[in-house]
A = this chain, B = another copy of it.
Amino acid sequence: MEKSEGIEKENGTVEEKQSFKDGSICGYDSLQRLLSANLKPQIFQEVSRLLLGLNCGRPLETIVPPESAIALSSKHDFDLQAFSFSADKELLREPRVVRVGLIQNSIALPTTAPFLDQKKAIFKKLRPIIDAAGASGVNILCLQEAWMMPFAFCTREKRWCEFAEPDNGESTQFLQEFACKYNMVIINPILERDVNHGETLWNTAIIIGNHGNIIGKHRKNHIPRVGDFNESTYYMEGNTGHPVFETAYGKIAVNICYGRHHPLNWLAFGLNGAEIVFNPSATVGELSEPMWPIEARNAAIANSYFVGSINRVGTEIFPNPFTSGDGKPEHPDFGHFYGSSHFSAPDASCTPSLSRYKDGLLISDMDLNLCRQLKDKWGFRMTARYELYADILARYLKPDFEPQVIPDPLLHKKSS
């Protein structure tokens, strides 16, 4: 990807500027908006139908958020979009519509600011966005991965460990207030410090109930060792299994960041009964942007549940330059976190994505009855033949696993 001109903003992030050069294009806000601005309406509609998977006769409706939420988004300059997935009306069950929110954000102060100031500035920045969610009647809200700090794991510097908090620390306390105020379940993904186990660090999502109580937590199952994702320097694979949290608004689970590349991780949350799985993430353009629209939607289809995908935004500049294991010169940033948070539904549809550059709140209504409707329609559970896979995985784990390979006998004759 070619570099575009950068504008240094007051929070220390760099925002790319919309520009065209040499046949390339940078800085557009989202694929959906780029297409909308450049296609005739009826062609845009058809392209959207295909790209958003709106092929089943179920339209994705746009919701107008309340005036107060719109006013907050204007005043504090965050993207605000709201949609509604529909489901078939059933004869024996009432609809179970829940309103779900996702928040993406950049950091609020340069990474050179005192750590406590950085954290408090993020709290201050998030306050109006969470208020907008509350004003919009959101039932379940999820924040991005390690939202209370810069994503400093690229540096490999241990001083960033100071941002870690116990599961009932100040970030949790900050969100518990909102949970009570708005009768809202909030998922709080932080860098956790486990004081009772020798100050161990974890990448953890804490589930706060709609009365402000802590329901439980989940620790990230799969830890990346790729590019600047030096996360295994800071924490190890989680030890909490694949819990599903039964909240006032439905059964939810959290697949943290890199876990989205593992279909088995998605599967296990599904086997445990999840109806919505959140994927709070932090990921950058050149590495993962082509995968971003694929993996979440595939998980929603394959497991007949909803997925809420969140990615942070902006480019975070660190005080000390570092190398990236790619032979290139040292540099002070991780690359551009491209936002693009979105929802995926079990019927293969999805919402448009939030901005690639701005903070944002994405809201969608979803009738959780759709999960079982898709199970009944497609029968993926019924036809899954799990016994075959329990068997091959058990065999694969053995050091002397022999793959099922059928060689062409003529091939071996020729080469011998």
Point out residues on A near B: beta carbons under 8 Å.
1, 20, 23-25, 28, 31, 34-35, 38-43, 45-47, 50-57, 207, 209-211, 213, 215-216, 221-226, 237, 241-248, 251, 258, 261-264, 266-268, 271-273, 285-286, 289-291, 294-295, 297-298, 301-302, 347-349, 377-380, 382-390, 392-394, 396-397, 403-411
The answer to whether B386 and A285 have CB atoms under 8 Å apart is no
Query: Which single member of B272, B291, B403 contacts A348 (CB below 8 Å)?
Result: B291
Per the bound structure, the CA–CA distance linking A409 and B294 in Å amounts to 36
Per the bound structure, the CA–CA distance linking A218 and B42 in Å amounts to 44
Apart from A1-B57, A24-B45, 6 more pairs, CB < 8 Å:
A55-B290, A244-B406, A246-B405, A246-B407, A264-B386, A273-B403
Residues in B neighbouring A377, C-beta threshold 8 A: 226
Per the bound structure, the CA–CA distance linking A302 and B259 in Å amounts to 11
Per the bound structure, the CA–CA distance linking A297 and B385 in Å amounts to 23
17 pairs from A and B in contact (CB 8 Å cutoff): A1-B55, A25-B42, A25-B43, A50-B289, A56-B290, A223-B383, A226-B378, A241-B388, A242-B388, A244-B404, A246-B408, A268-B392, A271-B403, A291-B301, A294-B301, A386-B396, A394-B394
The answer to whether B389 and A301 have CB atoms under 8 Å apart is no
The answer to whether A379 and B225 have CB atoms under 8 Å apart is yes
Using CB atoms, name the residue of chain B closest to A209: B408
Using CB atoms, name the residue of chain B closest to A263: B263
Per the bound structure, the CA–CA distance linking A40 and B39 in Å amounts to 9
Residues in B neighbouring A397, C-beta threshold 8 A: 386-387, 390
Min CB distance A403 to B, Å, is 4
The answer to whether B264 and A384 have CB atoms under 8 Å apart is yes
Per the bound structure, the CA–CA distance linking A302 and B299 in Å amounts to 12
Using CB atoms, name the residue of chain B closest to A185: B408
The answer to whether A388 and B348 have CB atoms under 8 Å apart is no
Residues in B neighbouring A386, C-beta threshold 8 A: 264, 393, 396-397
Instruction: Name which of A47, A53, A237, A387 has the most chain B CB atoms within 10 A of its CB.
Output: A47
Per the bound structure, the CA–CA distance linking A244 and B226 in Å amounts to 29
Min CB distance A163 to B, Å, is 24
The answer to whether A408 and B245 have CB atoms under 8 Å apart is yes
The answer to whether B301 and A295 have CB atoms under 8 Å apart is yes
Using CB atoms, name the residue of chain B closest to A401: B271
Per the bound structure, the CA–CA distance linking A187 and B10 in Å amounts to 59
The answer to whether B271 and A392 have CB atoms under 8 Å apart is yes
Min CB distance A96 to B, Å, is 14
Per the bound structure, the CA–CA distance linking A302 and B261 in Å amounts to 6
The answer to whether B46 and A406 have CB atoms under 8 Å apart is no
Using CB atoms, name the residue of chain B closest to A298: B298
Min CB distance A396 to B, Å, is 5
Residues in B neighbouring A245, C-beta threshold 8 A: 405-408
Using CB atoms, name the residue of chain B closest to A396: B271
The answer to whether A349 and B290 have CB atoms under 8 Å apart is yes
Per the bound structure, the CA–CA distance linking A62 and B285 in Å amounts to 25
Min CB distance A157 to B, Å, is 23
Instruction: Name which of A34, A35, A46, A224 has the most chain B CB atoms within 10 A of its CB.
Output: A46
Per the bound structure, the CA–CA distance linking A262 and B347 in Å amounts to 15
Using CB atoms, name the residue of chain B closest to A41: B23
Min CB distance A95 to B, Å, is 19
The answer to whether A384 and B294 have CB atoms under 8 Å apart is no
Per the bound structure, the CA–CA distance linking A344 and B109 in Å amounts to 41
Per the bound structure, the CA–CA distance linking A163 and B56 in Å amounts to 32
Using CB atoms, name the residue of chain B closest to A45: B23
Min CB distance A55 to B, Å, is 5
The answer to whether A222 and B262 have CB atoms under 8 Å apart is no
The answer to whether A209 and B39 have CB atoms under 8 Å apart is no
Are A243 and B294 CB-contacts (below 8 A) given A261-B301, A301-B261? no
Per the bound structure, the CA–CA distance linking A388 and B394 in Å amounts to 10
Residues in B neighbouring A390, C-beta threshold 8 A: 390, 393-394, 396-397
